[in-house]
Structure 1
Amino acid sequence: MSDLQKAWAKNRLSALPAESFDEREEEETGHVPELPEHFDDDSSSASSASSTGTVIPSPSQNLFARPQGAPRGRSLQQIPWTTYFERELFLHDQSSPTNPTIHAYLTSPVGKGPLFVMHHGAGSSGLSFAVVGHEIRKRLPSAGILSLDARGHGSTTTPDSQTVDLSLETLASDFLSVILLARKEMKWPELPPIILVGHSLGGAVVTEVAKTGKLGNAVLGYVVLDVVEGSAIDALQSMHTYLSTRPAGFPTLESGIDWHIRTRTIRNSLSARTSVPALLMLQKSPGDSRPWKWRTDLGATQPFWENWFVGLSKKFLGAKGGKLLLLAGTDRLDTELTIGQMQGKYSLQIFPEAGHFIHEDLPEKTAISLVDFHKRNDRSALVLPPKVSDLLKQGKKV
């Protein structure tokens, strides 16, 4: 730099107001104090410059401004279900007194919009799909979301004298009943176009229902999230080890939410704050420092584990309707599904940045996949040519 340039730069800098900035503070603490705080959602699904390419802010954009209404700090406060759903339903098939009263969350479809019917995995609840359902409706406002608590989970109840039956056939029957009872409860003249969506165990349930064909042409397709037969059965061998390392309870509800985030069981704090509270219940007893216990005893479900997943790949490929498989890694594909994918029998998407709870870790990306899947299978978008008989009736030559 020439002497003239140095003099010019020195003159310019002297005109600027002095700012205090301690480089040592940045080195010691690892952050610059003046940087803005970010919204309380540390998930990998949050939008970022790296995931959207080059961002060029316009003069009217305050790129680093805090979002309006965003809380300061890292919150573990519970988010209520009313944030995402318009109502809750308690559905009971009165044909038998032994039938459960199934609890479900519902946002009704608008007009001829589709209904996404969700089934969660073992140990989870209907709120597992709360955030992704909200993201679906952002992109498809006419869509409805129906998400149930399976028997033995959430707020669904069974007669006290009855042992909880979690066989695949029973869960599939419950799932089908929820759809039909919801139609009756909401007085829908007919079933809306349906997309079945299931995570883990729920994937086996929706596949079983799709295979039966009992919903007829109402089903446009079905989606399975992060479960395939081979890897699921292999994972059952280590299930007891996992359950033995999981805390038996938590001192507070917030600590339960925090555990799911810290262990990366759920990698999205917004999802964890919404879904985890439904997994725990307060059971106070003298001297117990961890009164928040798990609602579902996963260890007690062991007799049903193999029943859930044996034959899943064959049923998934064979059932009628559009098929979508979302996985967190290609290593989960077994031989039968690999061959089926090469033959184009179903659509496959991989989200390597997600954990097992794909829809909770990456609700935005999952919602985009589900909405695109609906659009590809939406029969109302088809424009069919007129029938020859209709043309003849109109006196037209064919």
Structure 2
Amino acid sequence: MSELQKSCAKAKLAKLPSEAPLIFEQPAGGSTMHPIGESDNDSSDASSTATAVPSPTRQLFARPNRGSQASTSLTWADFFTQELHLTQTIPSTNLRIAHHIYLIPPSNSGPLFVMHHGAGSSGLSFAVCAEEIRKILPKAGVLSLDARDHGNTEVGRIDSSAGDGDVDINIDLSLETLSRDLEFVIRETQTKMGWETLPDIVLVGHSLGGAVVTDVAKKGDLGHKLLAYAVLDVVEGSAMDALQSMEKYLATRPTRFPSLSSGIEWHTRSRTIRNRTSARVSVPSLLFEKGTPTDLSRPWVWRTNLNDTKPFWENWFIGLSRKFLEARGGKLLILAGTDRLDKDLMIGQMQGKFQLQIFPEAGHFIQEDQPAKTAQVLVDFYKRNDRSALVLPPKVADIQASTAMNKGVGGQQGPIRKP
């Protein structure tokens, strides 16, 4: 990206709403950070600015202290109005999936922002961002799902007699499967909520979710109801490069935690999530307490084993840039750094094929680190693509029909005669 483009991006960022800095406590004995129960494997700069989100009902700006509210969890009900469980049966695979979603229904013909999280995350990754969207655009709705084998979405067998409850079910997290799941959730939500027609939709996907929403947009099954789609911090080139070091990263992070609060604390101190408020609501959905843990002192483990998803990593991202540029609808790419653009996207951006926004203050979890700025950009993006705001000139046929009607009402016109 040229220096001129970088300057333009910084100028746009300066106009966005600012977010309050978050104060992090240093561990006792100095500034060296250690993951819970693990060796010192993090070299992040702990002095970087993080963010918090104001709220009139919650004490979110209280100075964090060990044992205080700083690492206590927040519930989904603090950010969404309802949760839904949508059952899908797939006889060909003998599976029943209970899709779990968080929802704020739109009102007054408002749009529906449909959010898809990244690998290993959950629908609550967009919780704080959803709240910020509603502050800016109160009529908007937000649907944020838990992908299969993530969060509270459960996959089981249709015929329970086919095996006991501990029978292992092969994980299917292919891009094609996740795309079908997303379309099912959207359609089934329409049925469950009794909507006569779908609202105008803006798809938003982070990381893996970005690949899923792009695939859905490219297929075009949502028709004219899909206004636009936004991808957060993933492009094909850098994603494929990052896969080479993914196993090494997974080997360095903690595999279990002594408590839920310690899991929240690790995410904020390692700067995996730089916004403590978002960590307090999203991290609890990533962990669960094992009934018979192998380590009694650390019973909390990850819900999604990312090592098991390795067979699908390349499938998620191959062809992503091409599909992103070719799919119909408005296109937005939000990145945490200018170095993440690959060749195809650099060319597309120079040709004006999509909107590019850079958040240099954020880490990979853009929507969690900078929820207010992300929400502002998403709402502005929707408004630019809102067809209802367009005032089109009348068609020639409509003008002719109107003229003929006026003649009929006023009587047949003939030659003008002098009295």
Question: Secondary structure at 2:356's aligned position in 1?
Answer: strand
Q: 2 CA distance for matches of 1:99 and 1:339?
A: 43
Q: Deviations over 1:284-338 (max 9, x none)?
A: 3365211010000000100000000011000000000000000000111001100
Q: Does 1:381 align with 2:378?
A: no
For the pair 1:240 / 2:236, whether they are aligned, the reply is no
How far off its partner does 1:92 sit?
Answer: 1.6
**Which segment drifts farther, 360-369 or 377-386?**
377-386
Q: Is the 8 A contact 2:202 2:226 kept in 1?
A: yes
Offset of residue 395 of structure 1: 2.1
Following TM superposition, by how much is the alpha carbon of 1:185 offset from its aligned partner in structure 2, in angstroms? 0.3
Give CA deviations for 1:17-65 in whole Å, capped at 9, x if unaligned.
xxxxxxxxxxxxxxxxxxxxxxxxx9634589xxxxxxxxxxxxxxxxx
Matching residue within 47, 50, 59 for 1:44:
50
**Match of 1:85, SS?**
coil
The yes-or-no answer on 1:261 pairing with 2:250 is: no
Counterpart residue type for residue 355 of structure 2:
S
Residue in 2 that maps onto 1:105: 102
Q: C-alpha distance in 2, partners of 1:93/1:278? A: 22
Q: Which residue of 1 aligns with 2:321?
A: 313
Distance 1:369 1:68, change over 3 A: closer
Counterpart-to-counterpart distance in 2, 1:153 and 1:364 = 25
Distance 1:318 1:83, change over 3 A: same
For 1:270 and 1:46, the matched residues in 2 are separated by 6
Q: 1:305 to 1:284 in 2, by over 3 A?
A: same
Alignment partner of 1:158: what SS?
A: strand
Aligned with 2:151 (options 129, 151, 154): 154
* Number of positions where the alignment pairs a residue of Structure 1 with one of Structure 2: 340
Cα offset, 1:95, TM superposition: 6.0
Match of 2:164 in 1: none
2:235–2:320 contact (8 Å) kept in structure 1: yes
Query: Does 2:121 correspond to 1:124?
Result: yes
Q: Which structure 1 segments of 5+ residues have no match?
A: 1-41, 49-66
Q: Which residue of 1 aligns with 2:142?
A: 145
Deviation track 1:243-265 (CA, whole Å, cap 9, x = no partner) reads: 11111110010000000000000
Instruction: Measure the CA separation in 1 of the matches of 2:341 and 2:109.
Output: 35
Contact 1:43 1:268 in 2 (8 A): no
Contact (CA 8 Å) 1:158, 1:164: kept in 2 or not? no
**d(CA) in 2 for partners of 1:301 and 1:178?**
22
Indicate the SS of the match to 1:202: helix
Larger Rg: 1
The structural deviation recorded for 1:132 is 0.2
Map of 1:76-115 to 2, 5 A cutoff? 76-94=71-89, 96=91, 98-115=95-112
Distance 1:92 1:241, change over 3 A: same
User: Counterpart amino acid of 2:321?
Assistant: S
Note if contact 2:51-2:276 (Cα within 8 Å) is conserved in structure 1: no
Alignment of 1:1-398 (within 5 A): 44-46=50-52, 70=59, 72-74=62-64, 75-94=70-89, 96=91, 98-160=95-157, 162-285=169-292, 287-395=295-403
Partners of 2:183 and 2:121 in 1: how far apart?
19
What is the CA distance between 1:377 and its match in structure 2?
Answer: 0.1
Higher relative contact order (CA 8 A, sep 6+): 2
**Matches of 2:180 and 2:118, distance apart in 1:** 16
Instruction: Quote the sequence identity (%).
Output: 61
Match of 2:403, SS? Answer: coil
User: How high is the TM-score relative to the length of structure 2?
Assistant: 0.78
User: Which string of whole-angstrom CA distances, capped at 9 and with x for unpartnered residues, describes residues 50-83 of structure 1?
Assistant: xxxxxxxxxxxxxxxxx88636431111010001
Partner AA of 1:128 in structure 2: S
Any idea what the Cα deviations from partners look like across 1:170-210, whole Å, max 9, x if unmatched? 00000010000000000100010000000000000000000
User: 1:115 and 1:317, CA in 2 relative to 1: closer, same or farther beyond 3 A?
Assistant: same
SS at match of 2:155: coil
Alpha-carbon distance in structure 2 between the residues aligned to 1:362 and 1:232: 21
Going from structure 1 to structure 2, the CA distance change for 1:187 and 1:43 (only over 3 Å counts) comes to farther
Q: CA separation of 1:95/1:167 partners in 2, compared to 1, >3 Å: closer, same or farther?
A: closer
SS of residue paired to 2:143? strand
Q: 1:68 to 1:109 in 2, by over 3 A?
A: closer
Aligned letter for 1:70?
Answer: Q
SS at the partner of 2:95? coil
Aligned-pair CA distance for 1:99: 4.1
CA contact (8 A) 1:266 1:357 kept: yes
Report the Cα offset of residue 94 of structure 1: 4.2
- Segment drifting more, 354-363 vs 85-94: 85-94
CA distance in 2, matches of 1:237, 1:129: 27
Superposed CA RMSD = 2.1
- Which residue of structure 1 aligns with residue 27 of structure 2? none
Distance 2:147 2:231 in 1: 17
In structure 2, do the counterparts of structure 1 residues 131 and 69 end up closer, same or farther at CA, with 3 Å as the change threshold?
closer
